[in-house]
Every structure is written in C-alpha cells, then in structure tokens.
Amino acid sequence: MRKGSTVLPSTERTRSRRAPQRPGDRVFSGLSTGAGVLILVVLAGVAAFLVAEAWPALIAPADEVPGPDGIVLYIWPLLFGTLLAAFLALLIAAPLAVAIALFITHYAPRRIAQALGYIIDLLAAIPSIIYGLWGIQVLAPLTVEPAGWLEENLGFIPLFAGPASTTGRTMLVAALVLAVMILPIVSAVVREAFRQTPRLHEEASLALGATRWEMIRMAVLPFGRSSIIGASMLGLGRALGETMAVAIVLSVSGGVTFNLISSGNPGTIAANIALEFPESTGIAVNTLIASGLVLFAVTLLVNMAARAVINRRREFSGAN
Amino acid sequence: MKRTTLGRALALPAAAALTFGLVACGAANESGGGDNSGNGGGSGLSGTISGAGASSQDAAQQAWRAGFLEQNPDVTVNYDPIGSGGGREQFISGGSDFGGTDAYLDEEELPKAQERCGQVVEIPAYVSPIAVIFNVEGVDSLNLKPGTIAKIFNQKITKWNDPAIAADNPGAQLPDTAITPVNRSDESGTTENFVEYLKAAAPQDWPHEVSGDWPVKGGEAAQGTSGVVQAVSSGNGTIGYADASQAKDLSTVKVGVGGEFVQYSPEAAAKILEVSERVEGRGEYSFAFDLARDTTESGTYPIVLVSYELACANYSDANKAELVKAYFNYIISEEGQQASADSAGSAPISDALRQQIKPAVDAISAS
Amino acid sequence: MPVTTSSERGPDLHTPLSGVPLTHGQLPRYAAQFTLLAAIAAGIALTLAGWNPAASAIIAGAGYVVVIYAWSRTVEGPRKARDRLVTAVVTGAFLLALLPLVSVIVTVVGNGIARFDVEFFTYSMRGVVGEGGGAYHAIMGTLVVTGLAALISVPIGILTAIYLVEYGRGRLAKAITFFVDVMTGIPSIVAGLFAYALFALVFGPGVRMGIMGAIALSVLMIPVVVRSAEEMLKLVPNELREAAYALAVPKWRTIVKVVLPTALAGIATGVTLAIARVIGETAPLLITLGITSSVNLNPVDGRMATLPVYAYYQYVTPGVPPEPALERAWTAALTLIIIVMALNLIARLISRLFAPKTRG
C-alpha cells in the first residue's frame, strides 16, 4: 500500500511533465507522417512496376534478349559506362562546386555574391537537352585538338590511349557536360549550408587570429561537411540518371574501356533506354526496363554508402 | 512575419497561376478553338484524330497536317513521333487512330491489328531516299559500289585512298586519311533500311544481321539524323547515312546500281516501289512491299526508306472514320505528296501507285 | 566543437613571448592587384606572341598563384601565404567553373534571340509549316504541368521533411530517409514509364494527359524538395526550438512559427531548384504527354505540348529547310530559362520579405 502510493505520483509526474498532446499537434504530426508514408507507397509502386516489367527479360533465354550474349553482357557495358561517366563528372564537379560555394559565401563582395548565386541557380534550370546541344556544338569541337595532344604525349596512360576521336564526341566530353550540368545543383545546396554556419564560430576563430582560410577550414568546412556529401550524392544521382544530354553527346559503340578520348565508348543505361525505347517491342522493352532496375539498384547502393558517411558526421548538424 | 509559411507554400503555384491567367487568351493563329465551333470552313468536318509512330515521317506529317487544316479548319490532327515500334503497338492496342511505321506489320502483329480493325489499311505514303554523306577534304564527288560501301561501314576499308575506292573513282585525288564511319546510335528505321540494303546488295561483304540497331562496334555513333549530319560535317574523313532531305551541303555518294552510278533524286527513289513486289496474303487493303534493293534497273536509287500509314478499314466511331479517310485521301493526293516533298524532302509517289492504293483509303468506314 | 579539432598549428604556448616578434611583415596594400595585373599582362603578351589563348590564360593564372604565394611567404610567413594561395585557388576555380556556364548561356541566348519575337509567344504550331509559328501552346502546357507537379510535390515534400527532422524517430523515419535517397536516383524516363503504366491500367493504352506528366514530374521532384528542406530544417539551431518549448508553445506552432520561417530562405531555394530540376525534363513528358501543335489547357484531356518536348521535336525532326525549326528549338530553351528566372525572382522576393533576419 505504501509502496504503491510512492510509485503512483512519480508516474503521474512524468506524464504531466510531457507536453500536452493538443489536437493541432496530432493533426500536424499525422499529416507529416502521412506524407512520408505516401512517399514509401509511391516508391514501392515504382519498384513493383520495374520488377514486374523487368521480370520477363530476366527469365528469358539468352538468345531472345537483344545483344548477342544474353542480358548480363547486354547491361554490363552500359552499367560500366554509366558509372564511369557519373564518377568522372562528380570528380570534376564536386571540388569546383565547393569552390564556387566558398567564393560566393566567403570571398566575393556581398552585393556581387547575391547576383552570382542567383545566376548559378538559374543554370540548374537549363534543360538537359540544351546541355547536350551545347556539348556537341561548342564543347566537343574544342576538345579535338587537346585530345590529339593527350594521345600523343600521354598515350601510355590507358585513359588517353586513343585513337583520338575526330569529332570530339567522347566519354571525356560526356563527363565534362555532366559535370557542368550538376555543378549548379551541387553548389547551390553546399552554398546554403555554408551560409548557415553559425556566425559566432566564424567570428570566434577570426578573433583568435585565424586567417580567412583557417577560419573556413576550422569552422565552415566541418559544419558543411554533411551537406557537401549530401549535395554530391544529389549530383551523382542526377549524373547517373541523366538521359538526353548523354544521348546527344556520346558516341556509343559498345565495349568496356577506360579510354576516354576515342569514339568507341560504352553507353549509359539511361541514354540507352531513351535511344532504344521508341523502336523497341516485346522482350526488348523488358530488357530496357531491367537495365533501369539495375540503375535503380546502383543508386540505392551509392546512397547507402553516402548515408553511412553522413551518419558518422552527425554531430555537426544543428538539430542533434 | 505572420503568414510566412502559407505565403511560401502558395507563392510558386500562385505565381504560375498568375502568369497563366494573364496570358491565357488563346493563340493568335487559333480562331475560336478547333473542336467546338463549326463555322462551315471547307468540308464541314470537325473533331480530333491522333496518330503515333515513326519519327522519320514527322516532318511530312507536319506538312500534311498543315495542308489538311487549311481545307478543314475545324479539325485537329495530332501525330506523336514516338517511333515505329511504339506506333505499331499503340495502333494495335487502340491507343491511336492511325499509325505511321517504317516497317510493315509483321506476321504476329497483323492478326492482332485485324482483330481491332477488320481489314488493315496499310499504304506506303512516305518514300524518302537515304543519302550516303561524306566529308573528305578535297573530294567533292564519289562513286561507290555496294560492296565497297559495305566494306567501309564494316571497317574493312579504313583509308580513303584504298584501291577499292580508287577503282570506282578514276582520276580522283583521294587523301591518305582514315575513314570514320558514322552510324545512328538510336534504333531507327533509317538504320534498318540502310542495313537491309547492304545485306541485299552486298551479301558477301556484309555478314551482319538486319535490325534497327547498328551491328558494327567501334565506329562513331550519333543520335538521330541531325546528330549524324552534325558528326559527319564536323569531322574530317567521315562518312555516314542520313535522310537525304537533311544532308544539306554535304557531298553525297553516287551509288552503284548495275553498271552505272546513281545520284539520289526523288524520281530515282520513287522508282523502287515500281520495281518491287507487293507482299501477298495480307488482305486487299494492305500495300506492303518487299523492296528490291539489289535491283539492276537503270536509274533506280536503291537506298530508300519507305514509311507506311496504318488505318482501320472499320472504325466504331463514324466521325473518326470520316476524318481518317479525309486525312489519308489528302496524304496520297498529288497536293499532299507535293507538300511533303517540299517540306520533308520525300519522293512523291507515282500516279500508278496512287490509283492502286486509292480504293484502300476509300474503304475506310464505320461499322 | 569543430573549432578545436585542428590545433596542430596553434601558437606554441611554451615559447617565452619575448622570442616571438610582435609585428608582422605585410605585403603592400595593392600587392595582389598588382601581381594580378602583371599576370594578365603576361598572358596577353603570350597570346600576342602566338600562343594558344587558353594555354596562356592557364600559364598566367598559375604564374599569379606562384608569385603571390612566394612573395607572401617570404614577407608575411607561411600562414598568410597559405591564405592568399587558397584565395587565389578558390577564385580561380570559381572563374573556371563559370566559363562553361557562361558559354552555355551565350550559346542559348545567341541562338534563341533570333525568334524571340511576338509571334513566338502568341502563335501555336497549328497549321504552321516551315517559318513562323510559335510556342504559345508549349509555354502554357509547361506552366500547367509544372504548376500541378509543384502543387503535388511541395506540400508532400515539406511535410515529409518536417516529419523527418521534427517527429521521425525509429524505423519509419530511417526507412523514409533512405528511400527518399533512393528516389533521387530514379531515372527520369523510368518515372515517365511508371506514370504511363499507372494511367494505362485505368484508362487503357495510348492515354495521354497533362496530369500524367505532372505525376511523373512529382516522382522526380518530391525527393529533391525533401532533401533540401530536410537539410535546411536540420540547420535550424536547436536553441530556437528549446526556447519556444520553454515558453510552452505547442510543437506544431513551434514548427510553423519558428522552425519553418528560420529555414524559409533555404527551403525556397530548394523548391526553386526542384522546379528547375523538373521544368526542363524531356524524357518523361515525351512518354506521358506526347506533343500536339494546338493549344490544350485541360490537364485531364488529351495531349499537351510542353517546352522541352517542343524543343526536342523541333530539333530532332526539323523539316526542310531545318533552320526555322532549329531556331524555334533554341528560342524555346531560352523561354524556359526566362520562366525559371521569373519563378526564381518571385521566390527570392518572398523569402526576403518574410524570412526573419538570422544574420546581419
């Protein structure tokens, strides 16, 4: 009896200490949970659609699938090309994006910085087909001469083995176009994160006599690190799935090669779907969708890796 | 500060709606909208029909549509250039009212289409020569035999001054440049027809199977006709194949037929349908041709793309049937063929062929 | 704290102060500008001497970096020198990155300006062959479809982000975070196929509707909205939330009145980016909307033209001669950029008007 009476008030106290559940709260949390669940449902729908449509191609005998050697050897060069183009693009774009974001938030004069940020945002909106047209009309011809030089002088590196393409429609150009495409989107996200760096941190390190670079290295970069990774993944996702620009720019003629400057390049999954889909029927369509499923899985893996990295850096985000 | 989130959430849609409201007053060239009024222009036909299919004939469809609308201002005709495969699929499944395809319906598709339509109306209305284009410094004209073309595209001949090329072009100054063959990277009717030609005219030099996909690895590949033209004109020592109408200023190859070399021309291209045989047993309204690519008939240009129009002999909707019939009649008319020749560079079909296919179009009706 | 993570170059506390000079050498005030001018002059001289302009620009840039670093290092010491080096490298990288972007803009404007006339904005392509014609129908279609997509994705996206940051604990939140990431990787054409398959189930094959396109675009847009809104909400300092709770403000009011306004500018940028991401999508609209040459403003009835698809088809299947069609394609692209510019401007205006000042 006595024991019970000591326990009871304590549970009552804990209950009353918790914020009261108001109807507004309940509605709001319900709404936001619903939105999250809806996303899961949509994604499940997409996945179900992909698997259902890809299934006939996965179980079909090798000789019915387009390409001479069955579905695995059909998709593998495409997967290779996709990864090569996307990672090259990210390799080029990520450091530049961070530099742009740093320049706008910490180096450029304030008034100019806003205008610059604005211009970069706009570039994210240029449709991919335009990047494709720009790539083939402006960029590709410019690379013909340097590619020839690379072949002559650095030809011993497999990347530049040549023979150099005479039209410039190479893997290198495709990666450059992709890099230019993802640059605005990556730098915009990183910029917003840098801008949110607590001013106190910055001022504290400056007050301790740090130079601007030391301040950035000690206060800004650690704070924005998870955003840099997140933004890079966003960019990588876009590069992996980019369709029209690659379809227009890249000269595809099969084969797995690291050679970046010849005209015989592996294709990419998304571009291949766009190129082949209109004229395909029957099992060929299923095969294309199966390749889409592979792309989907790759993105999944990339994101898992990124998540793992970000989670390790959790302590820098403000909400935790 | 107060209504911030609301304002934020509504801002963009509101902005869009605002812009939309400001300018939503109709296009200047569309008087009163297509499908609601019948102001008695032309034939008094009205309504909408939609087709889908080969992108090769899109430019021609645009011309036909425009000419047809002039006569029938209350009709809307849509054409989705989604590709031949998609076009056939949609036509069979009833997704489109008429179809366009670079290859006639195959044995599997034909019965399914007949299930939808009763008889299938299948007419070759778009005949387009495929030019073999090249860009070699100092060479303006080139004669090539089918076997040589096949070897070049199969990468067996790799230099422009190869003896095989020199033999066809006595006296020409051929440079010691590498040949870069350019092909289509997308699956296309143009590729299929070109490969079909190589297979038929030079079987021993072209070991690959016929399909819409380019079979040879390692060449330069470009998207679409415009991509091939772009690639050929921007490189040196390049050679490719493209719809003749888009070949622009590029030099084109004179192709060996029999003992002579034929430059492409609309007449020479249209002639191939006369020397080819109609495929039998497909119903009286189906005009499918197996093209005689290996013809030796003088003055015939053998590399052509023939694109078909698909329709049903029997529609369930009387108005649709009227519209499709009127539209197809316009397409095969002299005027329609001239319109597509002017703006798509196709070869007008001959009068004899027109007389042949006219009954098929007239047979379109509603049950 | 991140500030303390790297102290390897901090002042050595054991050395007596008398050993450290209290003053520091400093470069003259205009040292950087002067060196830069010299580098530019050298670059121009190299170009005039017959070098490739690109190569001379690279040499001039590298020269500037080396000179300013060496000079600063001898006069100001390694820390200052490193600072100047990074400044030069960051600025250089920025200019380098700007180069292709400017080139793209110049190409689009240069090619698009030819047909940027009244006819382009008031005419559709109905009955037009060859020259003339416009993109009125496509502009309207793009506004309707993208507007619908935004209407679907923005509320869902922001609510999901709120759930993830404010409510989400445990497995569901982890699953949603993960799958939103996965969703960013859906190739656009697959989203189009999905929307098509969904509607074909209900309406039969061959169906074409504006709303289908909007749904396909939403699939692409939602994850972008969620990701950027999530990042921005996370950056709202916890102190603000705790202060609100301490004043007994209910959680939902805290979110609506404190958290969202603080993150507003970032979310606005995110939403604008998301719209920008989808407004130029070609592949999914190709499958779901098709193309028409006439105006159609009803998103649940039949084909609609949109600017990217319009531009694509004008480019891919031009007539004879191809020039008018290609000009229309470029002008359509230019128009698309201008539309986004307008949206962007409005979003910025709103975020500036309503967002509380968080920084000076």
Interchain contact B235–A (C-beta under 8 A): yes
**C1 pLDDT above the threshold of 80:** no
CB B162 within 8 A of CB B271: no
CA distance to partner chain B, nearest, from residue A218 (Å): 34
CB contact under 8 A, A40 and C176: yes
Question: pLDDT value at position A20?
Answer: 56
Mean of all residue pLDDT scores within chain B: 82
Out of C127, C302, C354, whose CB is closest to B7? Answer: C354
Q: Is the pLDDT of residue A8 over 70?
A: no
In a domain, A51, yes or no: no
The arithmetic mean of pLDDT across residues B308-316, rounded, is 90
Partners of chain C (3+ Cβ pairs below 8 A): A, B
Helix axes C78-112, A70-102, angle to 10 degrees: 120
Please state the domain count of chain C.
2
Enumerate domains of chain B plus CATH numbers. 8-128+269-366 (3.40.190.10), 130-267 (3.40.190.10)
CB B241 within 8 A of CB B130: yes
By percentage, how much of chain B surpasses pLDDT 70?
88
Contact flag C250-A43 (C-beta cutoff 8 Å): no
Same domain, yes or no, for C222 and C318? yes
Q: Is C306 part of any domain? A: yes
Q: Are residues C168 and C288 in the same domain?
A: yes
| Residue to substitute from A136, A171, A279, A288, interface B, most B β-carbons within 10 A | A279
Residues contacting A242, CB < 8 A, separation 6+:
A128, A178, A181, A268, A270, A271
List of chain C residues whose C-beta atoms are within 8 Å of the C-beta of residue A183: 97, 101
ipTM more than 0.95? no
HSE-CB of B95 using CA atoms within 13 angstroms = 29
pLDDT for C161: 92
Q: Which of residues 259-298 of C touch B (CB under 8 A)?
A: 260-261, 264, 267-268, 271-272, 275, 286-287, 290-295, 297
C348 domain residue, yes or no? yes
- Same domain for C94 and C129? no
Residues of A in contact with B217 (CB under 8 A): 253-255, 264
Six-digit token string for B95 = 């997704």
Q: What is the pLDDT of residue B15?
A: 47
* CB neighbour class for C171 (10 Å; exposed up to 12, middle 13-18, buried from 19): exposed
Q: Looking at per-residue confidence, does B248 or C243 come out higher?
A: C243
Nearest CB partner across the interface for B212, out of A140, A165, A279: A279
Quick one: C134 and C106 in the same domain? no
**Interatomic CA distance for residues A176 and A245, integer angstroms:** 11
Residue of A nearest to C76 (CA): A211
pLDDT surpassing 90 at residue C145: yes
CATH number, position A270: 1.10.3720.10
Span A216-275, pLDDT tens digits: 888 888 888 878 887 888 788 788 888 888 888 888 876 777 888 777 788 888 888 877
What confidence tens digit (pLDDT) does each residue in C183-216 have?
876 778 788 888 888 887 787 766 778 889 999 9
pLDDT in the model for residue A319: 40
* In chain C, % of residues over pLDDT 70: 89
SS3 track for chain B: CCCHHHHHHHHHHHHHHHHHHHHCCCCCCCCCCCCCCCCCCCCCCCEEEEEEECCCCHHHHHHHHHHHHHHCCCEEEEEECCCHHHHHHHHHHCCCCEEEECCCCCCCHHHHHHHHHCCEEEEEEEEEEEEEEEEECCECCEEECHHHHHHHHCCCCCECCCHHHHHHCCCCCCCCCECEEEEECCCCHHHHHHHHHHHHHCCCCCCCCCCCCCCCCCCEEECHHHHHHHHHHHCCCEEEEEEHHHCCCCEEEEEEECCEEECCCHHHHHHHHHHCEECCCCCCCECCEECCCCCCCCCCCCCEEEEEEEEECEECCHHHHHHHHHHHHHHHCHHHHHHHHHHHCCECCCHHHHHHHHHHHHCCEEC
Q: How far apart are CA B141 and CA B161, in angstroms?
A: 14
On whether residue C20 sits in a domain, the answer given is no
Q: Are residues A300 and C159, on separate chains, in Cβ contact within 8 Å?
A: no
What pTM does this model have?
0.78
Q: What percent of chain B has pLDDT over 90?
A: 12
Rounded distance between C-alpha atoms, residue B84 and residue B101, angstroms: 4
Task: Flag whether C11 is in a domain.
Answer: no
Please determine, for residue A11, whether its predicted confidence score (pLDDT) is greater than 50.
no
Q: How distant is the Cα of B187 from the closest Cα of chain A, in angstroms? A: 5
Q: How far apart are CA A120 and CA A97, in angstroms?
A: 10
Q: Is residue C5 part of a domain?
A: no
pLDDT score, position C5: 45
Lowest mean pLDDT, pick from A65-69, A115-119, C161-165, C209-213? A65-69
How far is B167 from B155, CA to CA, in rounded Å? 18
Is residue A141 pLDDT above 60, yes or no? Answer: yes
pLDDT tens for residues B287-306? 888 888 888 888 889 899 88
C-alpha pair distances (Å), B237 with each of A66, A172, B150, B159, B217: 31, 22, 17, 9, 18
Look at residue A57 and tell me if it is in a domain: no
At residue C133, the 3 state secondary structure works out as coil
Please identify which residue in the block is written with the tokens 């509380």.
Answer: C356
C335 and C299 in a common domain? yes
**Cα–Cα distance list, C58 to A13, A138, C91, C93, C221 (Å):** 71, 20, 14, 12, 39
**Does a structural domain hold residue A209?**
yes
Higher-confidence residue: A106 or B41?
A: A106
Instruction: Report yes or no on A187 lying in a domain.
Output: yes
* Residue A317 located in a structural domain: no
Q: In the structure, what pLDDT confidence band is assigned to residue B328 with cuts at 50, 70 and 90?
A: very high
A287–B contact, CB cutoff 8 A: no
pLDDT, position C151 = 92
User: In angstroms, rounded to a whole number, what is the distance separating the alpha carbons of residues C235 and C266?
Assistant: 10
Which structural domain, as residue segments, surrounds residue C212?
A: 122-353
Task: For residue A191, give its domain range.
Answer: 67-311
In the numeric block, which tokens belong to residue A107? 């180096």
C349 shares a domain with C239: yes
A112 part of contact set with chain C, CB < 8 Å: no
Backbone phi and psi for residue B96, each to the nearest 5 degrees, phi listed first: -130, 160
Query: Quick one: pLDDT band at residue B133, thresholds 50, 70, 90?
Result: very high
Residue C248 belongs to domain with CATH number = 1.10.3720.10
Domain termination site, one of C48, C78, C113: C113
Instruction: With beta carbons under 8 A apart, name residues in chain C contacting A123.
Output: 101, 104-105
Segment B12-23, tens digit of pLDDT: 444 444 444 444
Q: How many CB atoms lie within 10 A of CB B113?
A: 22
Is residue A10 in some structural domain?
Answer: no
Tens-place pLDDT, residues C83-138: 888 888 888 888 888 888 888 888 889 988 888 888 888 888 777 777 778 888 89
Does A11 fall in a domain? no
Distance between A222 CA and the closest CA of chain C, angstroms: 6
pLDDT computed for residue B21 by the predictor = 45
Q: Which segments of chain A are extended strands (E)?
A: none
**A contacts of B187 (beta carbons < 8 Å):** 275-276, 278-280
User: At a CB cut-off of 8 Å and minimum separation 6, what does B278 contact?
Assistant: B287, B288, B289
Question: What's the gap in Å between the CA of B92 and the closest CA on chain C?
Answer: 10
Which residues on adjacent β-strands are paired with residue B290?
B277
**A7 within domain boundaries:** no
* Six-digit token string for A186: 């990556």
> pLDDT at residue B252 above 80?
yes
Strand partners, B309: B100, B123
Neighbours of chain B (3+ CB pairs under 8 A): A, C
Is C25 contained in some domain? no
Q: Stretch C50-77: mean pLDDT, rounded?
A: 82
Average pLDDT estimate for C248-267: 86
Q: How much of chain C, in percent, has pLDDT values that exceed 90?
A: 9
Q: Give contacts of A 222-261 with B, CB under 8 A.
A: 247-248, 250-255
CB contact under 8 A, C90 and A292: no
SS3 of C182, please?
Answer: helix
Q: Which of residues 62-81 of A touch B (CB under 8 A)?
A: 66
Q: Is residue C1 part of a domain?
A: no
Using CB atoms, pick whichever of B84, B186, B222 lies closest to residue A169. B222
Mean per-residue pLDDT, B155-177:
87
Shared domain check, C56 and C147:
no
Please tell me the total count of domains within chain A: 1
Chain centroid offset of residue B255 CA = 21
Which two tokens mark A15?
Answer: 């209950």
Whether residue B55 and residue C126 make contact (CB cut-off 8 A), yes or no, is no
